[in-house]
Homo-oligomer: A and B are copies of this chain.
Amino acid sequence: MPDTKPPPRDDEAIRLFVERMALTMSELGFPRMAARVVYTVMSADDPMTAAEIGERLGVSPAAISGAVRHLTQLGMLIREPVPGSRRDRYRVPEDSWLEVLNLKGGVYKMFADMADEGVRALGEQTPGGRRVAYMRDFFVFVQGEIDGMVARWRASRQA
Protein backbone atom coordinates (compact mmCIF):
# COMPACT_ATOMS: atom_id res chain seq x y z
CA MET A 1 0.00 0.00 0.00
CA PRO A 2 1.63 3.17 -1.25
CA ASP A 3 1.77 6.09 1.09
CA THR A 4 -1.03 8.12 -0.47
CA LYS A 5 -2.77 9.10 2.70
CA PRO A 6 -4.41 12.51 2.61
CA PRO A 7 -2.40 15.46 3.93
CA PRO A 8 -1.71 15.53 7.66
CA ARG A 9 -4.96 17.16 8.73
CA ASP A 10 -3.65 17.88 12.19
CA ASP A 11 -6.76 18.46 14.23
CA GLU A 12 -4.92 19.76 17.22
CA ALA A 13 -2.99 22.29 15.16
CA ILE A 14 -6.19 23.41 13.48
CA ARG A 15 -7.79 24.03 16.81
CA LEU A 16 -4.76 26.03 17.86
CA PHE A 17 -4.97 28.07 14.70
CA VAL A 18 -8.64 28.81 15.31
CA GLU A 19 -8.09 29.82 18.91
CA ARG A 20 -5.08 31.96 18.24
CA MET A 21 -6.76 33.84 15.47
CA ALA A 22 -9.84 34.34 17.59
CA LEU A 23 -7.86 35.54 20.56
CA THR A 24 -5.97 38.07 18.49
CA MET A 25 -9.15 39.34 16.91
CA SER A 26 -10.79 39.68 20.28
CA GLU A 27 -7.86 41.75 21.44
CA LEU A 28 -8.65 44.03 18.54
CA GLY A 29 -12.22 44.44 19.68
CA PHE A 30 -13.90 41.70 17.68
CA PRO A 31 -16.33 39.44 19.58
CA ARG A 32 -14.48 36.33 20.56
CA MET A 33 -17.09 33.71 19.88
CA ALA A 34 -17.85 35.18 16.49
CA ALA A 35 -14.21 34.92 15.55
CA ARG A 36 -14.05 31.31 16.66
CA VAL A 37 -17.04 30.51 14.53
CA VAL A 38 -15.59 32.15 11.45
CA TYR A 39 -12.32 30.28 11.63
CA THR A 40 -13.98 27.01 12.45
CA VAL A 41 -16.16 27.23 9.40
CA MET A 42 -13.29 28.47 7.29
CA SER A 43 -11.20 25.49 8.31
CA ALA A 44 -13.84 22.94 7.51
CA ASP A 45 -13.88 21.21 4.18
CA ASP A 46 -17.61 21.66 3.73
CA PRO A 47 -20.23 24.07 4.98
CA MET A 48 -21.28 23.34 8.53
CA THR A 49 -24.54 23.44 10.43
CA ALA A 50 -24.95 25.43 13.61
CA ALA A 51 -25.03 22.23 15.63
CA GLU A 52 -21.77 21.02 14.14
CA ILE A 53 -20.06 24.30 14.90
CA GLY A 54 -21.28 24.23 18.45
CA GLU A 55 -20.15 20.66 18.94
CA ARG A 56 -16.75 21.32 17.47
CA LEU A 57 -16.19 24.30 19.72
CA GLY A 58 -17.85 22.73 22.73
CA VAL A 59 -20.23 25.62 23.30
CA SER A 60 -23.98 25.95 23.59
CA PRO A 61 -26.28 26.44 20.60
CA ALA A 62 -27.24 29.79 22.06
CA ALA A 63 -23.72 31.09 21.70
CA ILE A 64 -23.63 29.98 18.06
CA SER A 65 -26.92 31.61 17.36
CA GLY A 66 -25.74 34.96 18.62
CA ALA A 67 -22.39 34.80 16.85
CA VAL A 68 -23.97 33.77 13.60
CA ARG A 69 -26.43 36.63 13.64
CA HIS A 70 -23.63 39.11 14.06
CA LEU A 71 -21.47 37.51 11.41
CA THR A 72 -24.11 37.26 8.72
CA GLN A 73 -24.88 40.94 9.19
CA LEU A 74 -21.24 41.76 8.65
CA GLY A 75 -21.13 39.60 5.57
CA MET A 76 -18.50 37.38 7.10
CA LEU A 77 -20.70 34.31 7.08
CA ILE A 78 -23.28 33.14 4.60
CA ARG A 79 -26.34 31.23 5.64
CA GLU A 80 -27.48 28.61 3.18
CA PRO A 81 -30.83 27.02 3.95
CA VAL A 82 -30.88 23.35 3.06
CA PRO A 83 -34.01 22.59 1.03
CA GLY A 84 -36.30 20.16 2.83
CA SER A 85 -34.54 20.53 6.14
CA ARG A 86 -34.58 22.79 9.10
CA ARG A 87 -30.83 22.83 9.17
CA ASP A 88 -29.03 25.76 7.74
CA ARG A 89 -25.53 25.46 6.46
CA TYR A 90 -22.92 28.16 6.88
CA ARG A 91 -19.90 28.99 4.85
CA VAL A 92 -17.48 31.90 4.64
CA PRO A 93 -17.53 33.92 1.44
CA GLU A 94 -14.27 33.93 -0.46
CA ASP A 95 -13.83 37.65 -0.02
CA SER A 96 -15.19 38.10 3.46
CA TRP A 97 -12.27 40.27 4.44
CA LEU A 98 -12.91 42.57 1.58
CA GLU A 99 -16.52 42.84 2.64
CA VAL A 100 -15.52 43.75 6.12
CA LEU A 101 -13.09 46.30 4.85
CA ASN A 102 -15.76 47.84 2.67
CA LEU A 103 -18.38 47.87 5.36
CA LYS A 104 -16.24 48.85 8.26
CA GLY A 105 -14.08 50.93 5.99
CA GLY A 106 -16.61 53.70 6.15
CA VAL A 107 -15.31 54.19 9.63
CA TYR A 108 -12.64 56.51 8.35
CA LYS A 109 -15.15 58.69 6.63
CA MET A 110 -17.09 58.79 9.87
CA PHE A 111 -14.03 59.85 11.80
CA ALA A 112 -13.29 62.50 9.23
CA ASP A 113 -16.79 63.89 9.58
CA MET A 114 -16.62 63.96 13.35
CA ALA A 115 -13.23 65.62 13.19
CA ASP A 116 -14.67 68.23 10.89
CA GLU A 117 -17.24 69.13 13.49
CA GLY A 118 -14.45 69.36 15.98
CA VAL A 119 -12.65 71.83 13.77
CA ARG A 120 -15.72 74.01 13.62
CA ALA A 121 -16.09 73.91 17.39
CA LEU A 122 -12.46 74.78 17.95
CA GLY A 123 -12.07 77.37 15.24
CA GLU A 124 -9.86 76.97 12.19
CA GLN A 125 -7.22 79.28 13.54
CA THR A 126 -6.58 77.85 16.98
CA PRO A 127 -3.72 75.41 17.56
CA GLY A 128 -6.22 72.75 18.57
CA GLY A 129 -8.30 73.41 15.50
CA ARG A 130 -5.30 73.01 13.27
CA ARG A 131 -4.36 69.71 14.88
CA VAL A 132 -7.83 68.32 14.48
CA ALA A 133 -7.95 69.54 10.90
CA TYR A 134 -4.75 67.67 10.24
CA MET A 135 -6.29 64.55 11.68
CA ARG A 136 -9.37 65.02 9.54
CA ASP A 137 -7.24 65.32 6.42
CA PHE A 138 -5.43 62.15 7.35
CA PHE A 139 -8.64 60.19 7.69
CA VAL A 140 -9.93 61.51 4.40
CA PHE A 141 -6.68 60.36 2.84
CA VAL A 142 -6.92 56.91 4.39
CA GLN A 143 -10.49 56.49 3.23
CA GLY A 144 -9.40 57.23 -0.29
CA GLU A 145 -6.50 54.82 -0.03
CA ILE A 146 -8.76 52.03 1.13
CA ASP A 147 -11.01 52.44 -1.85
CA GLY A 148 -8.01 52.26 -4.14
CA MET A 149 -6.66 49.30 -2.25
CA VAL A 150 -9.81 47.30 -2.70
CA ALA A 151 -9.71 47.98 -6.41
CA ARG A 152 -6.08 46.90 -6.64
CA TRP A 153 -6.78 43.68 -4.77
CA ARG A 154 -9.60 42.77 -7.08
CA ALA A 155 -7.45 43.53 -10.06
CA SER A 156 -4.56 41.46 -8.76
CA ARG A 157 -6.93 38.52 -8.29
CA GLN A 158 -8.10 38.69 -11.85
CA ALA A 159 -4.61 37.74 -12.92
Q: List 9 A-B contacts (CB under 8 A).
A: A7-B123, A7-B129, A13-B121, A17-B118, A21-B118, A42-B132, A43-B118, A44-B127, A97-B139
Q: Does residue A63 face the partner (Cβ distance < 8 Å to B)?
A: no
Q: How far is the CA of A127 from the CA of B6 in the complex (A)?
A: 13
Which of A50-58, A65-73, A77-85, A107-115 forms part of the interface with chain B?
Answer: A107-115
Chain A 112-128, CB-CB to B under 8 Å as 1, else 0, gives: 00110110111111111
Interface residues of A (CB under 8 A from B): 6-10, 13-14, 16-17, 20-21, 24, 27-30, 39, 42-46, 92, 94, 97-98, 107, 110-111, 114-115, 117-118, 120-129, 131-132, 134-135, 138-139, 141-142, 145, 149, 152-153, 156
Q: Is the pair A142, B149 in contact by a Cβ cutoff of 8 Å? A: yes
Distance (whole angstroms) from the CB of A61 to the closest CB of chain B = 23
Q: Is the pair A128, B24 in contact by a Cβ cutoff of 8 Å? A: no
